[in-house]
Amino acid sequence: MLTAYRDAFTGQGELTERQGGLLVVGAGVLFSVTAIAYAAVEDATDFQFLAYRGASTALAMVILIVLRRGGRPVDFSTVTRTTWLAGAVLACTSMLYILALSGTSAATTLFLLAAAPIFAALIGWIWLREPVARTTAIAIGITLVGVTITVGAGLEVGSASGLLFAGLIPVSVGTYSVLMRSAPSVDPVVPTLIAGSILGLGAGIVAVAQGEGLGVSLRDGTMACVSGGVALGFGLPCFNLGHRSVPAAKVPLLLMTEVVLAPLWVWIWPGEVPSVATLVGGAIILGAVIWLVLVSRDAPAPRSRRGSQPAKFAAMRCSR
């Protein structure tokens, strides 16, 4: 399986739906680290944190691009307006996530993400004409049951702005999933580089304009870089590669590992104790994710109607 991932990342092969799904699940695990990294910040403001998060994400992609120069270099020739739009949406998603965490609890923010599969399914049907499989519809239903149990126990709503930011996240996640599904020829590194650059530059400008500056403590800067260079730097390329083999409606469902694990991390430290209902609901959601991976096909997934076998992959095989 590791060979399949290596070949797919360098453009020499394709993943099965199950292999792609496992990458998306792993990306969700990495993304979940952001909640605890943000909780560990002492003095940095939201936009200072976002500036370093974006910059470290972009730096991680630059390092990866340099490392790949001697083997399979990153190809920028397939970058289109859709790619730029996807990068911008991803940067906005990252910003919304941090602003939501500052205004409401991690559990509230993350469990609102459970609506993302519904938006992804709707947008995917409109944009890509991808039908929603029966197994995906069942998994969405199971996920909503888990969320209902959690919300029924009462979550910390927090400020109205925090709730608004959290509510916009599932829309942006669903949109990004569909945009990337419609651009299968783009190297998985490129959207992450675009998103990190936009986020780092935009948040940095806001921080300076507000008089906050970019001076932060070593601890806060490190936490921001962990959430960016590590969580996003490793997680997003895995996500961008894995989603190609997974129908758009399934992608946010598989990312529910982030929804389940992040409240557990902030429970371990700094001690934001989840309710029993949160744990029960999380277990149900995690069960739906595991089931969805197990029923996924272990064969090359069909491309979306707007996607096709990347031309650059064929060119690489012919030139090497």
The DSSP result for 16-53, as a single string, is: BHHHHHHHHHHHHHHHTHHHHHHHT-SS--HHHHHHHH
Cα separation, 296 vs 21, in Å, equals 8
**Average pLDDT taken over every residue of the chain:** 79
Binning pLDDT at 50, 70 and 90, where does residue 137 land? Answer: confident
Flag whether the pTM goes above 0.95: no
Going by pLDDT thresholds of 50, 70 and 90, the confidence category of residue 21 is: confident
Given a cut of 80, is residue 183 above it in pLDDT?
A: no
Query: Residue 150: what pLDDT?
Result: 65
Give residue 176's pLDDT.
86
Q: Report pLDDT for 121.
A: 72
> What pLDDT is attached to residue 136?
78
pLDDT of residue 32: 87
Give the integer Cα–Cα distance in Å for 250 and 292: 8
- 316 or 73, which is more confident: 73
pLDDT tops 90 at residue 113: no
Position 307 pLDDT exceeds 60? no
Per-residue pLDDT at 46 exceeds 80? yes
Q: In a 3-state reduction of DSSP, which class is residue 179?
A: helix
Q: CA quadruple 164, 170, 172, 175: dihedral positive or negative?
A: negative
Residue 214: is its pLDDT beyond 60? yes
What confidence tier does 309 reach under pLDDT thresholds 50, 70, 90? very low
Residue 47: which pLDDT band, with cuts at 50, 70 and 90?
Answer: very high
Q: Helix (H, G, I), strand (E, B), or coil: what is residue 171?
A: helix
Task: Give the pLDDT mean for 88-94.
Answer: 93
Confidence at residue 312, expressed as pLDDT on a 0 to 100 scale: 37
- In the structure encoding, which two tokens stand for residue 76, read together? 């920028």
Residue 300: per-residue pLDDT: 53
Reply yes or no on whether the pLDDT at 191 is more than 80: yes
- Taking the C-alpha atoms of residue 165 and residue 109, their distance in angstroms, rounded to an integer, is 9
3-state secondary structure of 186: coil
Higher-confidence position of 217 and 316 = 217
The pair of three-digit structure tokens given for residue 148, joined into one six-digit string: 């209902």
What angle, 0 to 180 degrees and rounded to 10, lies between the N-to-C axes of helices 256-268 and 17-31?
30
Distances (CA, A) of 167 to 5, 129, 173: 34, 25, 11
Contact indicator for 162, 99 with CB cutoff of 8 Å: yes
Let me know if 148 is exposed, middle or buried by CB neighbors in 10 A (0-12, 13-18, 19+). middle
Confidence of residue 202 (pLDDT cuts 50, 70, 90): very high
Digit-coded pLDDT (tens) for 270-299: 666 767 777 787 788 778 877 877 776 655
Q: What is the pLDDT of residue 286?
A: 75
pLDDT above 90 (res 261) = no
pLDDT-above-70 percentage for the chain? 80
